Structure 1
Amino acid sequence: MNRQAQAAILFLTGAALLHAGFTNLYLRYVKAGLQPLLLASGAVLIVAALATIWYEWRGRRNHEVDAHDDHGHTHREPRISWLLVLPLLALILVAPPALGSYSAMRTGTALQQPYGYGKLPATGPLDLNVVDYATRAVYDHGRSLKGREIKVTGFVALDRSGAPYLVRMALNCCAADAQPVKIALTGKIPPVLQPDKWLEITGSYTARQTRDAVNGGPVPYLKVTSATPVATPKDPYDESWNN
């Protein structure tokens, strides 16, 4: 691989990172808070590519190109360096979907006891994310949830027995470390549920709990009164579990 090829790969990789960073594509790989670093990385790669091209051009003009050694042999990088093209092609050609029910039901719940709880509105329905509901239901014993109408959005997952769960993948840094937080559903459950379909569940707190079949972690129940299909959110991951 010569310098021109190196510069081309750097430039294309940087451009792909900028494209992902300026669109919602990057949310399939990393958490939203890393967008500035992703954009900065793409810009640095493009600058490095342009600098490589400029130095190569200047060296040729000054007749200082070291493309050949004293014996007239061409200096070449190892052929294995062309494998760097593979992640570039994967980034450009393959846009993996967000992790869903298949991963969720094969991974134990990542529910963790929080350091504290945010203040909830005194009246009206509580619009909570999966992590917030689950932590309050398990570790706060539903004190702030009792008697309130609750709305939670997540995707559907079914265990081996067909029992339904509402799930959101909790993200620490990137999709590689995503883990599920699960809410078991009871009450007026829709007769037909499709895994990975997103629902807005309206319901109420119940003290009932179960244990995750994978790691034995606590999984709270939510008593369903209605379920409404919704579109997949722009950011399918939940980043609130470690905040």
Structure 2
Amino acid sequence: MNRQAQAVILLLLGGAVIRASVTDLYLRYVKEGLRPFLIAAGLLLVAAAIMTLWYELRPPAPRALAPADGPTVGPDRPDGHDGHDGHGRAHHEPRVGWLLILPVLGLLLVAPPALGSYAAGQAGTALSSQQQSDYPPLPEGDPVQVSVLDYASRALFDRGTSIGDRRVQLTGFIATGADGQPILARMVLSCCAADGRPVKLGLTGDVPAGLPDDSWVEVTGRYSDRLGRDPVNDAEIPYLEVESWRQVPVPKRPYD
């Protein structure tokens, strides 16, 4: 791979990062607050690629005439090296460099979906350690919209005291629990999809039935004091008493 090919791949990579950053595609991989850094990184990659191409494609500088009594030591370089080996062959970078085009194709052509039920089944619930709880009262509304993470935290760490008998509405995707029954889950990120972990809720009452994994639903219900265990890390999983539910499209922001 020569310098020009490297610059083209760098240009494509920077363009792919910018394209993902100015659309909602980046939300599948990182948290929303990282958008400015992604745009800046993409612009730097594009600028580096353009400068490399300009340097490689610019017209060659006029050669200085060699002294009449001095030896000629190569067409371009005073040390006698002209970018070729002793057999007249040009030096090239390792061919493994072409693998750099794979992430570019992934961003431009494939666009993997956000983490879903498979990732949730491979990792233990994120709420695996006890912590002090001092939650404020829920906002006004009936039902009140809360995140899966907020409900699970209140249900586990203060045993539903801050929820009381209020009706709550949550949105998440369906996954299959250890007992084969559907559970409600949502992925939470610390930084990007690489560190995503699921928050899982068991469901009782009017449990969504007949839906495949990764179907997104909006459920309305009340606090349940029932607790289960996550088979992956043996952490407690809270439950929600479902009163009603409906299937919804994948939200713009798939992560809590």
Same structural fold, with TM-score higher than 0.5 when normalized by the shorter chain: yes
Quote the sequence identity (%).
Answer: 52
Q: How does 1:171-186 map to 2 (within 5 A)?
A: 171-186=189-204
Q: How does 1:158-173 map to 2 (within 5 A)?
A: 158-173=176-191
Alignment correspondent of 2:233:
215
| Aligned mates of 2:21, 2:82 — CA distance in 1 | 37
Q: C-alpha root-mean-square deviation of aligned residues, in Å?
A: 2.1
Q: Which moved more, 1:26-35 or 1:196-205?
A: 26-35
Q: CA deviation at 1:106?
A: 2.5
Alignment length (residue pairs): 238
Greater radius of gyration (CA): 2
8 Å CA contact 1:67, 1:75 repeated in 2? no
Alignment correspondent of 1:19:
19
**Residues 18-72 of structure 1: per-residue CA shift (max 9 Å, x gap):** 1111111111211111111111111000000111112223462456598634744
| Aligned mates of 2:125, 2:62 — CA distance in 1 | 63
Alignment correspondent of 2:175:
157
Secondary structure of the equivalent of 1:5?
Answer: helix
Runs (5+) with no aligned partner, structure 2: 64-75
1:68 aligns with 2:83: yes
1:68 partner amino acid = G
8 Å CA contact 2:85, 2:91 repeated in 1? no
| Aligned mates of 2:93, 2:46 — CA distance in 1 | 21
Which of 114, 119, 132 is the equivalent residue of 1:103? 119
2:39 partner amino acid = L
| Aligned mates of 2:82, 2:153 — CA distance in 1 | 62
1:89 aligns with 2:105: yes
Secondary structure of the equivalent of 1:49?
Answer: helix
Instruction: Give me the TM-score of the superposition, normalised by structure 2.
Output: 0.85
Q: CA deviation at 1:198?
A: 0.7
Instruction: Give me the TM-score of the superposition, normalised by structure 1.
Output: 0.90
| Aligned mates of 1:189, 1:151 — CA distance in 2 | 14
| Aligned mates of 1:27, 1:187 — CA distance in 2 | 33
